[in-house]
């Protein structure tokens, strides 16, 4: 098995794609007006319209209602990224903070309220975990 993507369901695909393009620097590839993907070397963030939900199971997903998933991106320098996002991101949950497991993390919300974590491994153990 290979974990390849996570999909966010939204009522405004264009707005959310624009946000993630600007936050990550990754250009989206649009399949339709209801579905786009931001591909990184290790995983893909898919963004889909509420109109796609009935194709899987009607009523199975609701936009802007996530309270348990954090979408995470590893970045080279989380403090520099924080400076870059200041003035663009409107809802920072925390400033860059070094976590007990060795990542320096910046937690914020996207326009739909989904939690996003940009992080940089900073301790030798954390750096080693991501070197594999």
pLDDT at 53: 96
Residues 58 and 84 in one domain: no
Single residue among 65, 90, 105 that ends a domain in this structure: 65
Strands 5-10 and 44-49: parallel
> Do 72 and 57 fall into the same domain?
no
Q: What are phi and psi of 24, to 5 degrees?
A: -100, -20
Q: What pLDDT was estimated at residue 87?
A: 96
Q: Are residues 52 and 18 in the same domain?
A: yes
Distance CA 29, CA 10 (A): 17
The helix/strand/coil state of 60 is coil
**Structural domain span for residue 50:** 1-65
- One pLDDT digit (tens) per residue for the chain, 132 residues: 999 999 999 999 999 999 999 999 999 999 999 999 999 999 999 999 999 999 999 999 999 999 999 999 999 999 999 999 999 999 999 999 999 999 999 999 999 999 999 999 999 999 999 986
Token pair 């591909």 is found at 39
Same domain as 11, residue 73: no
Given a contact cutoff of 8 angstroms between Cβ atoms, the answer to whether 29 and 39 are in contact is: yes
Cα dihedral value 32, 38, 44, 47, nearest 10: -50
Picking from 65, 97, 114, the residue at the C-terminal end of a domain is 65
* Residues 6 and 32 grouped into a single domain: yes
Angle at the Cα of 87 from the Cα atoms of 81 and 90, rounded to 5 degrees: 95
Q: What is the pLDDT of residue 19?
A: 98
CATH number of the structural domain spanning residue 58: 3.10.180.10
61 and 119: one domain? no
Same domain for 1 and 61, yes or no, is: yes
Q: Output the pLDDT for position 84.
A: 96
Number of domains the chain is built from = 2
Does 83 share its domain with 98? yes
């Amino acid at each position: 098995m290979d974990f390849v993507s996570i999909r966010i369901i939204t009522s405004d695909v264009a707005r959310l794609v624009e946000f993630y393009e600007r936050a990550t620097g990754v250009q989206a590839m649009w399949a339709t007006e209801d579905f786009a993907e931001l591909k990184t070397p290790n995983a893909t963030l898919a963004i889909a319209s509420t109109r796609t939900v009935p194709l899987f199971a009607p009523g199975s997903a609701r936009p802007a209602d996530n309270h348990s998933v954090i979408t995470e991106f590893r970045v080279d320098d989380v403090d520099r990224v924080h400076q870059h996002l200041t003035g663009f991101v409107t809802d920072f949950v925390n400033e860059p903070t070094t976590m007990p497991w060795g990542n320096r993390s910046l937690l914020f919300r996207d326009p739909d309220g989904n939690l996003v974590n940009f992080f940089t491994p900073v301790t030798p153990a954390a750096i080693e975990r991501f070197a594999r």
